[in-house]
Amino acid sequence: MFDPERDPGRPVLGIDPGVSRCGYGAIAGRGPDVRVLTCGVIRTDPGEPLPVRLGRLADELDALLDDVAPVVLAVERVLFQANVRTAMSVGQASGLALAGAARRNIPVAQYSPNEVKLAITGHGGADKVQVQAMVARLLRLPELPRPPDVADALALALCHRSGATVRDARARAT
């Protein structure tokens, strides 16, 4: 997998999946030179039929993957969700992102929300505002990234970039 220390200029794309709101954030660079390449939210109209919404989301994700050309895709993994509708929505959006990456031979890394919070804030139980504040600080942004979906996507990319060297060293050692 990608080692950001050897090639810090190559982008990492984070995706916070959802059908109504899908956050994305691409970063590149290393240490104090890490910077945001692009970030935002892909929105779909809840009044449209689900297949139409998924088709639009797939098109937007495909365009994003082509534009950013990330070296790796970091996607939030849902381990447990009390709300079945939310779990289905996140799963469907996540599947579209994973399929888009697979069609382009882009490696995928998945992280649970707690893993991301721990990597970014030092506390796995951090709230949304704490994540937004730390993402803004790490990326030297003038304000908190909003909505939280954007902060979560940037946090996913930061989480992967910060841990890739350790993971790669472990993989080489085994």
Interatomic CA distance for residues 174 and 161, integer angstroms: 21
Counting the structural domains of the chain, the total is: 1
**pLDDT tens-digit series, residues 4-56:** 455 567 899 999 999 999 999 999 998 788 999 999 999 999 999 999 999 99
CATH of the domain at 137: 3.30.420.10
- Residue 16 bears catalytic tag: yes
Whether 102 is in a domain gets the answer yes
What pLDDT is recorded for position 5? 52
Residues 6+ apart with CB under 8 A from 11: 26, 27, 28, 37, 68, 69, 70, 71
- Residue 62 bears catalytic tag: no
Whether 148 is in a domain gets the answer yes
Task: Write down the catalytic residue from 3, 5, 7, 16.
Answer: 16
Range of the structural domain that residue 41 is part of: 12-173
Whether 78 is in a domain gets the answer yes
Whether 94 is in a domain gets the answer yes
Task: Write down the catalytic residue from 60, 62, 66, 76.
Answer: 76
Question: Residue 64, CB half-sphere, CA atoms under 13 Å: how many?
Answer: 28
Mean pLDDT of 58-79: 95
Predicted TM-score (pTM) of the model is 0.89
Whether 4 is in a domain gets the answer no
**C-alpha angle 115/116/120, rounded to 5°?**
120
